[in-house]
Structure 1
Amino acid sequence: MLVTGVRLFNRSSMTKDQVELNIQDLGENCLQLVWRYTCALEALTEPGTAAPAEMGVSVELLRQALYNVRQHQSPNHNPFTHATVQRVELLQSELTAHFQVLRDTVQSKRAVPAAQVFPMFRSVSRLWSGLQDEAELLHIFRNLALSLRPFVASQAQIFSENSIDGLLQGSEIKSDAERRRLCEGGELGPDIEWLVPEHPNDTEPQSVQYSGFCGHILVCRDGLLLPGKPQLGLLKYKEKLYAFSSRDSALQFASAPEHYISEVAERAKRSPELIQLLCLHRQFSCVTPYTEHLLVRPINRSSSSTQTDTHPVESYMDRTYEWNEWALRRKALKLADLRRKQTHSTQTKLSHLRRDNFTQTYTSKDAMGQTTQDGESSMPRPLVYLSELRGQRGRPMVRVELTRALDE
């Protein structure tokens, strides 16, 4: 980072040329076509005007051209693109300020304290890295706009500037911002729920139905797209917000909202490009399956924890596992040999001569018998007397039997 900061400071004169990217000029031509086509189609669909066929203009082609340039306008003027441009401008201003401080600090000195300039060199390197990332993103947007430009050029070939000027007849061309500023006052009715934003200019089109366009004008003026005016208020119907271009359009839409909502859907069926332009994915989910994730309601999430065992699955050993490929080949040959086997069955002649047999037995009876006899006997106690155990050694021992006889 330090080396990068030093090199950037030495080549500070080339920095702006390397990061200067802007896509504002790419959308100016598109915006001019949007405003001109809108004014021309508004003049053709105005009640009481001459038939478009008499003027030699096809309303259908002009309406398709308006839808085309509106679609081309959306990627060039989305909030993300503007945020990127503002981020680039902010980084450029900070980088220029750092370079100026470094020049004032260094000037023509031969030696400068490292603790004074090294942090500034690191800051310059970080700013340059962020600027390069934003510049790459702007480069992608520029390539996208350049790839879409041939489609706008094809519409410009169908309707030349002279033909559009003839339809406008010198009328003032109003931009979308001017149409929003031209707002008449007055209450819209006490029996209808209207929301008036505190800062209408900060109202995001993504939060309003039909991308902020007036649904009543779209139905009653043959597909004309006019931006709504948040200053008039937003109609809240079934938890959805609707913007309108005039007070009369708001009152008529509020009198029968279901009718106009269904008519807008029918108009989108005839012109499928309106589904993407007006963000009607919820009503046409079957037509645009790639937007099904937009239909899913947000899931309520909460933090939770789960404790599992170290080894939730017990060990398993397959006893029939074979690693030898020749053993596997033998099993395969056995299975293949089973396909050629046949199962035979035989029927014996006597097997169909079976009959049912019944056997009757008498019930068991309880009986008892006694064969035990009691007997007694008494044996005499053995008694023996030994003499001549002490005294002279040479005399023999005398044993006298004193046991009584059995018959006594």
Structure 2
Amino acid sequence: MPLTQAESVIKNIIREIGQECAASGEVVSETLIAFMVKAVVLDPSNGFNIDRTLMKSDVQKLVKLCVTRLLDSKNPSLDTIKMQVYFDMNYTSREDFLEEHHRVLESRLSSVSREITDNRARAREELESLYRKIVSYVLLRSGLGSPTDIKIVREATAALQSVFPQAELGTFLTLSKKDKERQLKELTMIVTGIRLFNRNCGKGGEGIDDLPAILHEAIPATTQYIDSQLQIAQDLLYRYTAILEKVTKNPLLGKELQQYMIKEALYNMRQYEIFLQIILSDILTCAQEVEMMMKQLAAQLEQLKLTVKSKTAVPTSQVFPIFMALANLWTSFQDETVLISILSNLTTHLEPFLGAHDILFPEKVMQDLLDDVTVKTDASRIQEQMDYKVRASDFKKLEWLFPETTANFDKLLIQYRGFCGYTFATTDGLLLPGNPTIGILKYKEKYYTFSTRDAAYSFAENPENYIDLIKEKAKKNAELIQLLELHQQFETLIPCSQMRDVDKHYVKPITKCESGTQTDTHILQPTIVQSYEWNEWELRRKAIKLANLRQKITHSVQTDLSHMRRENCSQVYPAKDANTQTMRQDGTQVPRPQIYLAGLRGGPSKVTHEVKVDLTRAVDET
């Protein structure tokens, strides 16, 4: 089937599924439907063959299966997929967010900037209107107050007039567009710095929020909330893990508990834990940045106070750089405020995807399942196996990495997001954290951790077998593809956020390297005197030369114009952009001459009467 036709079929399937879900009262995004379609097709129990064209019956079956799974509100697996899709569509890394945030601000200000740079004001009223637009631009770009508040406008106008009086508009209008845009940005930064300094001195700052104080309160509150949610999630997933461990030892119990979907609930809570850890890591980075910026802000304000202290006039070369530094710091504070707000909202919007836990596992049911079960934390599991390390000498053809002998050990990209692949493959999908300290297996340039030494030894005997088992299990539970980071094995299900990082180069560990040493040829500095001469006649020749030089006279010449010669300075204008227009070819259509002569053959008379008839059309008729 051609690619365009296949895309059309998929779009029709997605549209039909969305319509059926909407008819049942469930609004589902196209992204979620597309993920569900691929998940249903991958599941071998559904009997779809991706290598052949789908028949009409296959399409109907696919639509029915997708709609059934999308409308199952009590399925933790569906909640996990919804959570993954939502997080993938709404989360970006810190660098990408700041870049996109600044791009959006620039696009919103482009129309205001264009009105200023394209202005050709001449009259007094037009110049005053242009100056007001510049003030509005400064306020909008700095984000320090509304341009409709008269008090804020007056304060910003006063600050702008101190560095850019209205009389300089004429010079501003003569600049090129790029120079105008650059000067507008510089004026914004300087005015922002002036207003921040005045606010610190208690002389202004109308409409300026105390962002450092806001962040000082918001970051600990957000961190505390995420920590509490993370603790709740971990307590719950530790219980699920303990129950599943009990099930692995008693297969009959597994059939009884199959209806509770404990495994799917564990995947849901593990995914929630991972997302919370990602958000918490970003917030901790924000906290470090804010702490550093607060110190820089205090230092810049103190330096500015010392510079302008008891002085009626201060050189602009001293204060303008500090004003601009203050503006840059405040912009960073604004970025951190927006980022904290978005991360906090993202955390809040993840909670609705956990609703199935209270329905499936009330406290009474959970207590019955935990009867005679010891609940262990991830940390306690790792601590129990610290002394049972892999012996690398037991495997001659495999390479094992240990923290004592491997640089960048903590930066290794571990497969399956750090979970034990052997335990997951040999049990019914149990997720146990791997313990890197007992040894990391390097197999085909990939790194694997294991919960115990026995698991590591068993996996190392036949890695390909267990890798294939994990892949097959992931086909049955599509949420595992993102949870265990199996995107390379299922390229059609790579999330959008990770498509941007396909070419990202991870830090590789330094396990072995070639080195060499070389002894210097001359360890000590040479003591050879290059001017030494052993020949006495050569010494005599040099002495005669010096004696002759003593009798020589040096002459210098000066003229009337050069005797007062001094250093001179000249000033030139910097290069500027210029435009030239080259010759172009053009053409016009002129009337073709049409002139006829009559009477050349003669006539009855001997005299020839020649008649010249001009039938050429006029120029305006062509």
TM-score (ref. length: structure 2): 0.41
Contact 1:210 1:279 in 2 (8 A): yes
Paired residue for 1:388? none
8 Å CA contact 2:233, 2:272 repeated in 1: no
Q: Which amino acid aligns with 1:270?
A: K
CA spacing shift, 1:38–1:262, aligned 2, 3 Å: farther
Shift of the 173–97 alpha-carbon distance from structure 1 to 2, 3 Å rule, reads farther
Specify the alignment match of 1:155 in structure 2.
357
**Letter in structure 1 aligned against 2:338:** E
Give the structure 1 partner of residue 546 of structure 2.
none
1:243 pairs with 2:434: no
Matching residue of 2:276: 76
- Within 5 Å, give how 1:200-219 maps onto structure 2: 203-204=410-411, 207-219=413-425
Match of 1:393 in 2: none
Structure 1 match to 2:378: 176
Residue 60 to residue 158, structure 1, CA distance change in 2 (3 Å):
closer
In structure 2, what is the Cα distance between the partners aligned to 1:249 and 1:174? 18
| Alpha carbons 1:285, 1:292 under 8 Å: kept | no
- For the 8 Å contact 2:423–2:431, the answer to whether it is kept is yes
Structure 1 residues 256 and 82, CA gap change in structure 2 (3 angstroms): same
Q: List runs of 5+ in structure 2 lacking aligned partners.
A: 1-191, 506-583, 587-622
Q: How does 1:10-89 map to 2 (within 5 A)?
A: 10=202, 14-19=210-215, 20-22=217-219, 23-24=222-223, 25-26=225-226, 28-46=228-246, 47-49=248-250, 51-52=252-253, 57-58=257-258, 61-78=261-278, 82-89=281-288
> Which amino acid in the other structure matches residue 149 of structure 1?
E
1:2 is aligned to 2:193: yes
Give ranges in structure 1 of 5+ residues lacking alignment.
Answer: 300-314, 318-408
State the distance in 2 between where 1:162 and 1:273 align: 28
Structure 2 residue 395 is the aligned partner of structure 1 residue 190: yes
Distance, in Å, in 1 between the alignment partners of 2:226 and 2:410 is 25
Q: Which amino acid aligns with 1:185?
A: Y
| CA offset digits 1:73-94 (Å, max 9, x no partner) | 333222x752453233332354
Are residues 177 and 17 of structure 1, via their aligned partners in 2, closer, same or farther at CA, if it must alter by over 3 Å? farther
Give the residue type in structure 1 aligned to 2:418: G
**Residues 229 and 244 in structure 1, CA contact (< 8 A), matched pair in contact too:** yes
1:97-116 correspondence to structure 2 within 5 Å: 98-99=297-298, 102=301, 111=310
The CA deviation at 1:151 is 0.8
**In 1, distance between residues paired with 2:502 and 2:333?**
37
Q: Which amino acid in the other structure matches residue 274 of structure 2?
A: S
Pairwise mapping of residues 124-163 of structure 1 onto structure 2 (< 5 A)?
124-163=326-365
RMSD between aligned residues: 4.2
Q: 1:247 Cα deviation (Å)? A: 0.7
Q: 1:214 Cα shift?
A: 0.7
Cα distance, 1:60 vs. partner?
A: 5.8
User: Contact (CA 8 Å) 1:43, 1:167: kept in 2 or not?
Assistant: yes
TM-score after normalising by structure 1: 0.60
| Inter-partner Cα distance in structure 2 for 1:126 and 1:66 | 45
Q: Cα 1:61–1:27, aligned 2, differ >3 Å: closer, same or farther?
A: farther
Alignment of 1:169-318 (within 5 A): 169=371, 173-182=375-384, 183-188=386-391, 189-191=394-396, 192-198=398-404, 203-204=410-411, 207-286=413-492
For 1:37, give the aligned amino acid: L
* 8 Å CA contact 1:91, 1:127 repeated in 2: no
In structure 2, the CA distance between the partners of 1:127 and 1:175, relative to structure 1 (3 Å rule), is farther
Matches within 5 A, 1:375-390: none
Between structures 1 and 2, the one with greater helix share:
2
Q: Which amino acid aligns with 1:195?
A: L
Query: Contact 2:193–2:324 (CA<8 Å) still a contact in 1?
Result: yes
User: CA separation of 1:42/1:172 partners in 2, compared to 1, >3 Å: closer, same or farther?
Assistant: closer
- Closer, same or farther in 2 for the Cα pair 1:282/1:177, shift >3 Å? same
How far off is 1:269 after superposition? 0.7
Distance 1:289 1:110, change over 3 A: closer
